[in-house]
C-alpha cells in the first residue's frame, strides 16, 4: 500500500523523546508531516540539543519499519526541529534503511528482531564493508539537454518577490559577458517573459517539429505565453502542466548554450518536481524579499530543492531597498532579512538587488538591457545586477567541481 501522511504520523507516534517518560511524541512534539512521492519530511518542536539526533534516528527507524511493512521505500527523510516561534533551529537527515533490522521503541532505542545477532562487533563504517548506498533522488535519473552546459533554476517560495525579474536580468547579464544564454519561462500558469522581454509583437515559429526560441536582448527565450491567448487562463491539472513544461524544455531548438535559466512558478508544486525529474541542473537560485513572510516560504523552496537533490547556489534578496528620485535609499521592506535567512540555512548569499523607478519602467517596457546602463538606471542597480551574475558564475563552477563535472584549471603565463 502507498504511504500516506496519516499512516506516517501514526507510525511516528510510537516514538517518544529518548530518556524521558511521560507524554508520547505525537501529542507533545509533532507539528506536521509532509509527503511527496517517496520523500518525507516532518517538523517537530525542538526537545533540546542533547536529544535531537537520537530522536531523529528513532523517527527514521519507525519510518523504516513502516515503509518496509507497506513495501513502499522511502528515498529521503528530513526532520526539522522548530522553536516556539516556528523558526527551524536544526535539521536532521537520518538515513531510512530499506529493510530495517531493528524495531523502534519508546525512548528512541531499538530492540533486535528475531533471528538477528544480538551481540558481537558491528563493522566500522567504511572498513571492509561496502559503502552505504544513498537513497535515489529525482536528479539521479534526470538527463541533460543536448548542447546545454549548465541549467539554473530560479525559484521562490511565494509570488510577488520579483523572481521573474531576477531570472531575466541574470540571463541578460550573463549574455553581456559573452556567454550563450537561454531562458525558459517555466511559470506555466503566469508567464512573465512576454512582458519582461518585450515579445508582444513577435510570433512563435516552429521548424521540423521544434520550437524556435526568440532571440532578444542577447538571449534565446521560450515561453508558453506566446503559445496561448494572452488573456486566456490556463486551467490545467498537474499532468497537463507537467507535459507543457517537458515540451517547452525538450522540444525547443536551443542550440549550443553555456547557461539555460529556468524561471519556475512560485511554490513547491508540480513543475518543480517535473524539472527535477527531467533536467540535470547545475543548481537553483532562491529569490526572497526581506520580510519574514517571504522568508518563511523561501525556506520551504530551498528545502524542496535540497530534498530533490538539487544544489542551492544561493539566495538573492530582491527589493532590498528602494532608491527614490532624490537618490536616497529607503528600506521599505527591511533590508537584510534574506541575508540573515541564508546564513541560518548555511546557504551562499548571492547579493541584494534594489528597486527603483527605472527598473520598474524597463521591466514593463521589456527593455532589460537598460538596467545595466548606469546613466539610465543608476550605478547602484547596474552594479548589483553585475555582482549577482558574478556570484552565480562562481557558485555554478563550485557546484560542478563538487559533482566532478568540472575540474579546476591552472594557467601559467
Max mean pLDDT among 87-96, 126-135, 244-253 falls in 244-253
The mean per-residue pLDDT over the stretch 34-41 comes to 76
Cell of residue 164, nine digits: 521573474
* Residue 238, pLDDT score: 65
Mean predicted confidence (pLDDT) in 347-362: 94
* CA 153 to each of CA 175, 272, 335, 372: distance values in angstroms, whole numbers, following the listed order: 17, 9, 24, 22
Work out the number of other CB atoms within 10 angstroms of the CB of residue 134.
11
Buried b / exposed e over 386-413, threshold 16 CB at 10 Å, is bebbebbbebbeebbeeeeebeeeeeee
The single residue listed with the C-alpha cell 545595466 is 372
Instruction: Please provide the average confidence, as pLDDT, over all residues in the chain.
Output: 82
Report whether 11 contacts 26 (CB < 8 A). Answer: no
Is residue 367 predicted with pLDDT exceeding 50?
A: yes
Most confident by average pLDDT, 50-59, 95-104, 366-375:
366-375
Grid cell locating 199: 515579445
Question: Which domains are delineated in the chain?
Answer: 5-104 (3.30.300), 143-403 (3.40.50.300)
- For the cut 50, the answer to whether the pLDDT of residue 314 exceeds it is yes
Q: Which range, 103-107, 200-204, 275-279, 312-316, is most confident? A: 312-316
Higher-confidence residue of 11 and 173: namely 173
Q: Are 268 and 300 in contact (CB under 8 A)?
A: yes
> What's the pLDDT tens digit per position in 260-292?
999 998 877 778 878 887 888 999 999 999 988
The whole-angstrom separation of Cα 270 and Cα 256 is: 28
Residue at grid coordinates 501514526: 10
- Alpha-carbon distance 11 to 32, whole Å? 13
Q: Specify the higher pLDDT residue, 82 or 264.
A: 264
Predicted confidence at residue 319, as pLDDT, reads: 94
d(CA 320, CA 97): 44
Lowest average pLDDT, out of 4-18, 347-361, 369-383, goes to 4-18
Cβ(181)–Cβ(174) below 8 Å: yes
Query: In Å, what is the CA distance from 37 to each residue of 33, 41, 76?
Result: 13, 11, 10
* Helix and strand numbers, DSSP H then E, in the chain: 13, 17
Question: Average of pLDDT values for 402-408?
Answer: 62
Number of alpha carbons in the 13 Å side-chain half-sphere of residue 381: 30
Task: Quote the CA–CA distance of 201 and 197 in Å, as a whole number.
Answer: 11
Share of the chain above pLDDT 70, in %: 80
pLDDT: which is higher, 15 or 29: 15
pLDDT of residue 144: 80
Mean pLDDT computed over 43-49: 81
Top-confidence residue, 232 or 319: 319
pTM for the whole structure: 0.65
Report the range of poorest mean pLDDT among 273-277, 358-362, 389-393: 273-277
> At 109, phi and psi to the nearest 5?
-90, 175
Residue closest to 359 by CA, chosen among 171, 196, 194: 196
- Reported confidence tier of residue 46, pLDDT bands at 50, 70, 90: confident
Backbone phi, psi, residue 214, to 5°: -70, 145
Going by C-beta distance under 8 Å and a sequence separation of 6 or more, which residues neighbour residue 206?
Answer: 212
CB-count burial class (<10 Å; 0-12, 13-18, 19+) for 241: buried
> Hey, which residues does 181 pair with through a beta bridge?
259
Provide the pLDDT for residue 408: 52
How would residue 371 be classed by pLDDT, with cut points 50, 70 and 90? Answer: very high
Average pLDDT over residues 239-247: 80
Give pLDDT, residue 105: 44
Amino acid at each position: 500500500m502507498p504511504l500516506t501522511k496519516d499512516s506516517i504520523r501514526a507510525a511516528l507516534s510510537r516514538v517518544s523523546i529518548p530518556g524521558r517518560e511521560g507524554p508520547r511524541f505525537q501529542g507533545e512534539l509533532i507539528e506536521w508531516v509532509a509527503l511527496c512521492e517517496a520523500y518525507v519530511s516532518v517538523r517537530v518542536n525542538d526537545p533540546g540539543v542533547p536529544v535531537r539526533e537520537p530522536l531523529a534516528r528513532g523517527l527514521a527507524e519507525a519510518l523504516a519499519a513502516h515503509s518496509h511493512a507497506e513495501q513502499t521505500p522511502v528515498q529521503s527523510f528530513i526532520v526539522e526541529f522548530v522553536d516556539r516561534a516556528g523558526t527551524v533551529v536544526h535539521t536532521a537527515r537520518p538515513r531510512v534503511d530499506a529493510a530495517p533490522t531493528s524495531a523502534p521503541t519508546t525512548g528512541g532505542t531499538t530492540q533486535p528482531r528475531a533471528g538477528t545477532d544480538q551481540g558481537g562487533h558491528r563493522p566500522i563504517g567504511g572498513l571492509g564493508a561496502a559503502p552505504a548506498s544513498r537513497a535515489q533522488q529525482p536528479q539521479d535519473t534526470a538527463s541533460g539537454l543536448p548542447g546545454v552546459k549548465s541549467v539554473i533554476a530560479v525559484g521562490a517560495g511565494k509570488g510577488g518577490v520579483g523572481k521573474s525579474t531576477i531570472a531575466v536580468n541574470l540571463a541578460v547579464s550573463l549574455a553581456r559577458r559573452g556567454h550563450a544564454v537561454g531562458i525558459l519561462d517555466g511559470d506555466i500558469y503566469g508567464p512573465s517573459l512576454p512582458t519582461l522581454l518585450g515579445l508582444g509583437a513577435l510570433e512563435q515559429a516552429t521548424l521540423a517539429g521544434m520550437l524556435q526560441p526568440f532571440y532578444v536582448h542577447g538571449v534565446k527565450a521560450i515561453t508558453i505565453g506566446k503559445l496561448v491567448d494572452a488573456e486566456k487562463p490556463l486551467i490545467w491539472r498537474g499532468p497537463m502542466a507537467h507535459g507543457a513544461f517537458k515540451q517547452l524544455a525538450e522540444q525547443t531548438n536551443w542550440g549550443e548554450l553555456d547557461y539555460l535559466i529556468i524561471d519556475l512558478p512560485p511554490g513547491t508544486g508540480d513543475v518543480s518536481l517535473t524539472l527535477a525529474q527531467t533536467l540535470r541542473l547545475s543548481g537553483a537560485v532562491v529569490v526572497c524579499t526581506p520580510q519574514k513572510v517571504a522568508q518563511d516560504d523561501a525556506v520551504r523552496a530551498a528545502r524542496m530543492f535540497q530534498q530533490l537533490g538539487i544544489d542551492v547556489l544561493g539566495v538573492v534578496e530582491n527589493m532590498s531597498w528602494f532608491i527614490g528620485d532624490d537618490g536616497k535609499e529607503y528600506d521599505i521592506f527591511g533590508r537584510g532579512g534574506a541575508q540573515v535567512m541564508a546564513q541560518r540555512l548555511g546557504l551562499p548569499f548571492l547579493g541584494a538587488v534594489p528597486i527603483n523607478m527605472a527598473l520598474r519602467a524597463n521591466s514593463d517596457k521589456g527593455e532589460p538591457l537598460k538596467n545595466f546602463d548606469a546613466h539610465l538606471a543608476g550605478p547602484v542597480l547596474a552594479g548589483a545586477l553585475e555582482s549577482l551574475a558574478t556570484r552565480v558564475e562562481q557558485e555554478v563552477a563550485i557546484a560542478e567541481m563538487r559533482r566532478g563535472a568540472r575540474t579546476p584549471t591552472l594557467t601559467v603565463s
